[in-house]
Structure 1
């Protein structure tokens, strides 16, 4: 047998022939199997993303409710300060934004008067400054309450994954009216101890009430009082405040 050398060609073979032989041998070796690819997201995971399932990464963050109107100076800030007065002691964060916000503007005098009449600290209401609705606010929210259907559509177009946690405030109240506190607490208890999971379970139960209470459409909107009479402001508040009572009830049921 012709002797071979570890780092050189065998006797009688040129280095070029030796190199070509090595290259041919390497080419004949089978290719390694392809690296495994990540499995596509399951149908359940995709559905969870669409429905706005709670994000486990945010488990330590406070529950957040976002209220939305057009200018963010009348309806949504009034809803914000009223909800905050009731729910902030439970550790719930409430804030607001506008689809076409009058950025930096405060609440007009009639709205401030309504807030004070409902027991809101005047300094809290006077501190409000309007801001635009942006995606990070939606991403952060566990419940989004809009003042009219146009705002709900705007939210869902901006972030479709928030579909099942977005309601007009009066729509939420209409659906909640057919869900007893006992049933809401049972849904929350079945979800475990996490406040975020418990609220999400209650929101699923609220969504399940669709079709049980018919609406004409306009009944789900809160009238916009901007630049209108004090009587219109009072009418707007009369549409808003009973709906907020239902929101407060179900959030309490979820957390207690």
Structure 2
């Protein structure tokens, strides 16, 4: 099972939405386990009611969730670590420096892995190959190599807005932004990307 770890600050909104939306957007039978954690999370069971409502409107399942804090073992054990902002990617690298080439923001990874195109499926090494760690490895390596070879983009292009303590419309926009990126990520992981 290939573990993909999403990271935000509180493990309340952004990383939870990314984890649960990827789970529903993956192709049936994909050997991928989406997980999430927060750099300042306080462990607690259950999703925030507003986040759960938005998630369920997008077709996700909010049951059985428990918030947790980001740790070095979580980073080290993940095949891919995706922060929802650059600060989250950097926090993961500080905890496990050897994971640096596997740490990106969600939007950065999708942008680099698809070479800036909308044709994510074309970037998969072989049809459906990215479903396991061996298939995902070349995609992650190519994205890491491209990171140093392309011009940097403004931070806002690689980050998802934090909806914490903001109007509900911001949470809705945040969820839709995450869902667009997660659908492209699901294609990179061997299909799917369109359910829900």
Give the match for residue 115 of structure 1.
55
User: Do structure 1's residue 185 and structure 2's residue 108 form an aligned pair?
Assistant: no
Q: Match for 2:163 among 217, 225, 235?
A: 225
TM-score by length of 2: 0.85
Offset at residue 103 of structure 1 (A) = 1.6
Q: Aligned runs of 1:55-74 on 2, under 5 Å?
A: 62-74=1-13
Q: Tell me the distance in 1 between the aligned counterparts of 2:49 and 2:187.
A: 29
Count of residues in correspondence between the two structures: 186
Look up the SS of the partner of 1:242 in the other structure: helix
Q: Deviations over 1:49-88 (max 9, x none)?
A: xxxxxxxxxxxxx111111111101111111111112337
Q: Which moved more, 1:222-231 or 1:205-214?
A: 205-214
What corresponds to 1:248 in structure 2? 186
Superposition deviation, residue 202 in structure 1: 1.2
Kindly indicate which of the two structures has a greater share of residues assigned to strand: 2
2:142 counterpart (205, 208, 218):
205
Where does residue 136 of structure 1 map in the other structure?
73
Query: Is residue 85 from structure 1 mapped to residue 24 from structure 2 by the alignment?
Result: yes
In the alignment, which of 145, 162, 167 is matched to residue 82 of structure 2? 145
Q: How does 1:91-106 map to 2 (within 5 A)?
A: 91-106=31-46
Shift of 1:183: 4.2
The alpha-carbon deviation at position 105 of structure 1 amounts to 4.9
CA drift at 1:114: 1.3
Distance apart, 1:194 and its partner CA = 9.5
CA distance in 2, matches of 1:220, 1:152: 11
Unmatched tracts of structure 2, length 5 or more? 192-196
Counterparts in 2 of 1:158 and 1:187: CA distance versus 1, 3 Å = farther
Asked whether the equivalents of residues 68 and 151 of structure 1 are also in contact (C-alpha less than 8 Å), the reply is yes
- Is 1:103–1:132's contact at 8 Å kept on the other side of the alignment? yes
| Structure 1 residue 188 displacement after superposition | 9.1
Q: Which has the larger radius of gyration?
A: 1
State TM-score, norm by structure 1. 0.66
Q: In the alignment, does 2:165 pair up with 1:236? A: no
Query: Tell me, which stretches of 5 or more residues in structure 1 are unaligned?
Result: 1-61
Cα RMSD, aligned residues only: 2.4
